[in-house]
Chains A and B, each alone.
Chain A
């Protein structure tokens, strides 16, 4: 029926390599989140703009990012742009792909949050003598981040898992890349993928728990 012999010792010997890979994964996810949030704020504001010239490109970005596979976005960044002589290394292509995706999703989260903040907030700020940008930065944005905080941490978990798509463009230093590298050398597929899955689980879990703690400290009444 099933004749597989487990070789855990062989897989456990690779733990240090997996750990190094996990650090790279976390690094890419963090970088892509920071850039994604910055871009998403701009996109969210642009999507609320009345000017078509500002509104349209932002909408195209969000639509493409949300409605095409992340795998394609990363593959396009490496091989797609490569057709036109623009060469992104696997690391940059992966980072660009995930950031593009993150920005699209987060823009919608932020736009929703912006909608939830009543206009009266801006009007009160303005009547107190704040300039429009000041009112946005000091009154609206903090509220927006507060509303969007937990959905944003979800996106962080998603970003961590998306890094695994880097193997398709030749990325071999992140957790998925290291895992695949060990797998094709030794073919202990089940054991090595199980160990890697445990790593992903704990990274994702740590992010969720960390976010809850931050939320609890910052946002409790």
Chain B
């Protein structure tokens, strides 16, 4: 009787104290579910198939991560502007959401090493009279507000002092506005541009050359203070690359050679 009481209270004490020491990584493994924020209107990184199931590079990447952790993956559809709010409010554990690692964002969220790299192109309509990036001067352009290329393009428009910039809430709205003629062009990652032109959903859209922006490295995101989780994620990305899984997924969703994830002459 006495022994069981002691064992019982010991168990209770362990149950009460252990969560205090556990970090996010422990929480994920204990819960058995990894909740990933993924943007699903950003093909080929994330979109939905005919049966409305999430598919794409980021979806597969999240599934791989969950498998490595030995848990189930749960894809939480998250629009671009909501990625870090979803993280901070505890709705998701990590963001596998093509998040550019800007220093301003890194004040709020914790970034891993890059897991993907984008280049940007000019996407326009055949009848818009835009031949290359310089042709955007004086035109009405748009992009998803607050994205890497959106911020760069808005700054360009301010610098040029002519034309105007419109930030939309989602990539789908940008394509709709472009195909309707509300805007003349957008700057968007080459992967998305290629995928949207190939899909044939928006006839008349065409790619007109590269945008002269720095390579857009994107990282996974987690809470800034979750070092255990961030360390794990860094190693996971490293493993994905060295095992060839990164190239495999790139070939599956984008095609061709996967871009280098390292910047010459500097660490990280």
Chain A residues proximal to chain B, CB less than 8 Å: 2-4, 7, 10, 78-79, 82-83, 85, 87, 90, 167-170, 172, 177, 180-181, 183-190
Contacts and interface: CB of A to CB of B under 8 A. Distances in A.
Given A79-B176, A79-B180, A187 B223 contact: no
Enumerate the 4 nearest inter-chain pairs by beta-carbon distance, A residue then B residue, closest first.
A184-B146, A170-B166, A82-B180, A187-B84
Contacts of A183: 81, 146
A40 B107 CA distance: 50
A169 B167 CA distance: 8
Interface string B131-146: 0000000000010011
B214 interface: no
A187 B145 contact: no
A181 B145 contact: yes
B99 to A, nearest CB: 10
Interface of B: 80-81, 84-85, 88, 90, 104-105, 107-109, 142, 145-147, 151, 165-169, 173, 176-177, 180-182, 223, 225
17 contacts: A2-B90, A3-B223, A7-B108, A79-B176, A82-B176, A90-B166, A169-B168, A177-B167, A181-B145, A181-B167, A183-B81, A184-B80, A184-B145, A185-B104, A187-B105, A187-B108, A189-B88
A37 B219 CA distance: 52
Contacts of A79: 173, 176-177, 180, 182
Contacts of B147: 184
Contacts of B225: 3
Contacts of A187: 84-85, 88, 105, 108-109
Contact of B146 (A83, A87, A185): A185
Contact of B180 (A2, A87, A170): A87
A128 to B, nearest CB: 55
A10 B81 contact: no
Nearest to B151: A185
B101 to A, nearest CB: 13
Contact of A87 (B142, B151, B181): B181
B107 A186 contact: yes
**Main SS of chain B's interface residues?**
mixed
Most buried by B among A85, A172, A184: A184
A30 B149 CA distance: 35
A186 B105 contact: yes
Contacts of A189: 84-85, 88
B166 A172 contact: yes
Nearest to B85: A189
Contacts of A190: 88
Given A3-B225, A90-B166, A180 B177 contact: no
Contacts of B81: 180, 183-184
Given A180-B81, A183-B146, A184-B145, A82 B104 contact: no
B104 A186 contact: yes
A83 B177 CA distance: 9
Most buried by B among A2, A188, A190: A188
